[in-house]
Amino acid sequence: MKRFLPTMLAASCLLAASAANAFTTYTCNGHDVKWSGNSKTLFAYLPDFPSGSSERNALIEAVARLNENSSPFVFNLVYTNTVPSLDNDRTEIWIDNIAWPGVTYTWWDNNCNNFTEKDIIMDSSVSWTSSANKYYQWSYDDPSDTIVAKRPMESTILHELGHALGLGHEADEYNIMGTDWNHMSTNGNAAYTYFGEDANHGARYLYGSDGTQDLGVVHWRRIGNNGEYSTHGRTRLLDPNTNTELPFTMVKGEPQYNVNRGQTVRMELTFENNGSAYQYEDVGYYVSTNSYISTGDRLLTSVSFGQSPANVYTRYQDVTVPSDLSCSKEYWLGAKIDKDNSLAEFAEWNNATYIPIKTNWNFSCLVLQPIIIQPLALN
């Protein structure tokens, strides 16, 4: 049998082009379908989201992340004891035992232009977490600890809110409308879900721009798709000569790359412009003694590049691991965008992220102490 193998293109250039497909929307008889205005009340069923509960915390955070989007559209969250139901002309969210982790039911009118109702149901049988501590989340599950990592409810609600705003699933970009639970912005031990460049682009397409700006960098990237959903994996540390991934060890649930002091490595990170306008910004690349990257860390190099608000940008940067680092010790390479804080952003917490490394022990680690010979004192 004659076989044909797919031809793959090596992404050899430093400026890697992303996929050309972006967000999806729906048309009805040729019209875009969306809400008629720029705000909608979202009724949350109080018994499912009681005050102080983790479910309410997740909902509040998800709505806040949605409302940060760079279009004028917002959801106004109202808690109610009115029992929710489908097709009651109210847009609602509640928790029930359903077949999917989350689902959004959409209604639009016979004029085929506007949504009339959206209902979001979250599955009660899923083990959810609302913690921003990364070790409580699936994506950072540390098998060596006793914490039971769970699916972050906030990210799944945010995915459903994307549907409620008018977006469809998207497989061709790193984005929240693909796989939601590893679409995270992480620095240190905190991992937050966020709406992201692609969904913000879609929101602006449907509702226009509100003029707000935001940049971000994450250690996640698109690695493929599962049906309509993009799938995401960690960004890597590569050998610049071969463009292949450097050897790593899984440490606390994360890949920790083994590097030599003085070695030049290629950092892969995903940059996003979540705002309304093109930005040309400085990015600092650092090495840190902990996983929280800040401008207080040791600067390795600084670069400037432009970012369109219309494409996710997984970018490569070569840096040299300093020769004076300690041997056999953990460090974190990282990047911080808008390091001089020159841009007013709707979110400042998503500007830095890390890639764990550990320096190898080799002969360069041997420090020869000079031998001092004392003259023998003769009496």
Among 23, 43, 257, 354, binds other proteins (CB under 8 A): 23
Nearer to other proteins, 88 or 249 (CB): 88
Among 189, 290, 294, 311, binds other proteins (CB under 8 A): 311
CA distance 328 to 321: 13
CA distance 319 to 261: 12
> DSSP 3-state assignment of 192?
strand
Residue 305 engages other proteins in binding (rule: CB under 8 A): yes
Among 43, 73, 75, 108, binds other proteins (CB under 8 A): 108
Nearer to other proteins, 30 or 143 (CB): 30
Question: Phi and psi for 282 in degrees, rounded to 5?
Answer: -80, 140
Tokens of 31: 């019209």
Residue 223 engages other proteins in binding (rule: CB under 8 A): yes
Burial letters 165-183, b for 16+ CB under 10 A, else e: bbbebbbbbbbbbbbbbbb
* Strand (E) or helix (H) holding 65: helix 54-67
Residue 97 engages other proteins in binding (rule: CB under 8 A): yes
Identify any residues that bridge with 245 across adjacent strands, giving them in sequence order. Answer: 238
What is the separation of C-alpha 288 from the centre of its chain, rounded to a whole number of angstroms?
21
249-278 binders of other proteins (CB under 8 A): 278
* Strand (E) or helix (H) holding 164: helix 153-165
Nearer to other proteins, 190 or 223 (CB): 223
Among 37, 50, 211, 306, binds other proteins (CB under 8 A): 306
Among 34, 35, 43, 45, binds other proteins (CB under 8 A): 45
Among 51, 81, 143, 227, binds other proteins (CB under 8 A): 227
* Strand (E) or helix (H) holding 215: strand 215-218
Among 152, 178, 196, 202, binds other proteins (CB under 8 A): 202
CB of 182 vs other proteins, minimal distance in Å? 14
Residue 226 engages other proteins in binding (rule: CB under 8 A): yes
Nearer to other proteins, 49 or 331 (CB): 49
Among 78, 100, 328, 365, binds other proteins (CB under 8 A): 100
Nearer to other proteins, 79 or 105 (CB): 105
Return the axis-axis angle of helices 153-165 and 196-207, rounded to nearest 10°: 30
CB of 94 vs other proteins, minimal distance in Å? 7
Tokens of 146: 């006793």
Among 107, 135, 138, 346, binds other proteins (CB under 8 A): 107
Among 36, 41, 125, 168, binds other proteins (CB under 8 A): 168
Residue 24 engages other proteins in binding (rule: CB under 8 A): yes
Residue 87 engages other proteins in binding (rule: CB under 8 A): yes
> DSSP 3-state assignment of 139?
helix
CB of 37 vs other proteins, minimal distance in Å? 18
Q: Give the largest Cα separation in the chain, rounded.
A: 114
Residue 224 engages other proteins in binding (rule: CB under 8 A): yes
CB of 347 vs other proteins, minimal distance in Å? 22
Give the position of tokens 């500007």.
351
Q: Please report how many Cα atoms fall inside a 13 Å half-sphere around the Cα of residue 176, on the Cβ side.
A: 34
Which of 115, 58, 48, 56 minimizes the C-alpha distance to 82?
A: 48
> DSSP 3-state assignment of 324?
coil
CA distance 349 to 190: 10
Nearer to other proteins, 86 or 365 (CB): 86
172-191 binders of other proteins (CB under 8 A): 172
113-142 binders of other proteins (CB under 8 A): 116, 121
